[in-house]
Amino acid sequence: MEKSRTRNFPPDLLSCPNLDKLTYGFWKSNLTKQFISTRDFLEKLNKVMENRDSSPFCNFLPRRDLLNILIKDLNLQTHGFTDSLHFSPLFEDWTSVNTIDLYFGAKLWTDISTHHGTNTFLFHGPKDKVITQGLLEVVSESLATNLPTRFVCLVPSQDKLPPHFLELATIQRSAPLFGDSDEHLCSMSIILAADKESLQADPINWDQLVGDLTKWNDHIKIPQLTDNLFRRECLFTTPLALSRNILTLKCLTSP
């Protein structure tokens, strides 16, 4: 399979790290089969590559060292709303709204119940064709559950957040979010949306998180209101349930 995939998808079209994670994802998704078809792998991979120009995602992922901090300190397991070319292998699982991604290990995000009972990371960068407020509204709807549910969103900073959302930190443009010297197009915010069951089941060590983030880079700002709320332990009430609309890519992506 290794020679076939390299011959059909050279590095200038698909990087070696992406090939490796897709190969592993395909293998993992087919573990129950007696034989894993190389031809089937190449056909599915070809469909992913054909769809790459229509994907809303084009931004590089955040640096691994930052992702490791968020995963560890906020107890995250799932990378939500991504695709085969942009999911991070640091997470235990990942979700997508595209059925082709199922062949490479994704779970299909079909409605607001998909992430119930999970701790999910959502990311979109300044170059992605994603409507931030639309995404946050769907996240808010997904909190209509009694199961411990948490979302940590890393998105372009917003002037206004939905109720019960909390900005944990602002990453300034000068911070090396995507590389050692890259300045991104706008400030980015780490936003927490969680129900009270999640905060009880997985309490956040605020001092640890702040310490790790500020040690990672000194171009991170912690909002004073957020710091006060955590130190006074007065965080969230149960979020209000909104309309239970079926999740569609159309409502989240810009033309």
| pLDDT tens per residue across span 222-252 | 999 999 888 886 554 434 333 333 344 444 5
Flag whether 165 is in a domain: yes
Number of folded domains in the chain?
2
Percent of all residues in the chain with a pLDDT value above 90, rounded to a whole number = 58
Instruction: Give the residue from 113, 123, 119 showing the smallest Cα distance to 198.
Output: 119
**232 with 111, same domain?**
yes
d(CA 101, CA 234): 40
Tokens for 137, please give them.
Answer: 């509204």
- Which pLDDT does position 100 carry in this prediction? 94
Top-ranked range on mean pLDDT: pick from 44-53, 63-72, 195-204: 63-72
Flag whether 57 is in a domain: no
**85 with 183, same domain?**
yes
CATH number of residue 81's parent domain: 3.40.50
Q: How far apart are the first and last CA of the chain?
A: 37
Instruction: Give the residue from 164, 65, 77 showing the smallest Cα distance to 120.
Output: 77
**46 with 68, same domain?**
no
Q: What residues make up the domain containing 167? A: 64-251
- Which pLDDT does position 87 carry in this prediction? 94
Q: What pairing do the DSSP bridges indicate for beta strands 150-156 and 119-123?
A: parallel
Q: How does pLDDT run across 126-173, given as a tens digit for each residue?
A: 889 999 999 999 999 999 999 999 999 999 999 999 988 999 999 998
**91 with 42, same domain?**
no
Flag whether 59 is in a domain: no
pTM for the whole structure: 0.85
Beta-ladder partners of 253? 130
* CB burial of residue 13 (10 Å; 0-12, 13-18, 19+): exposed
**164 with 230, same domain?**
yes
Tokens for 128, please give them.
Answer: 């992605």
Flag whether 56 is in a domain: no
d(CA 139, CA 155): 13
d(CA 172, CA 8): 40
**125 with 13, same domain?**
no
Cα distances (Å, whole numbers) of residue 85 to 46, 133, 163, 166: 12, 24, 32, 29
Flag whether 81 is in a domain: yes
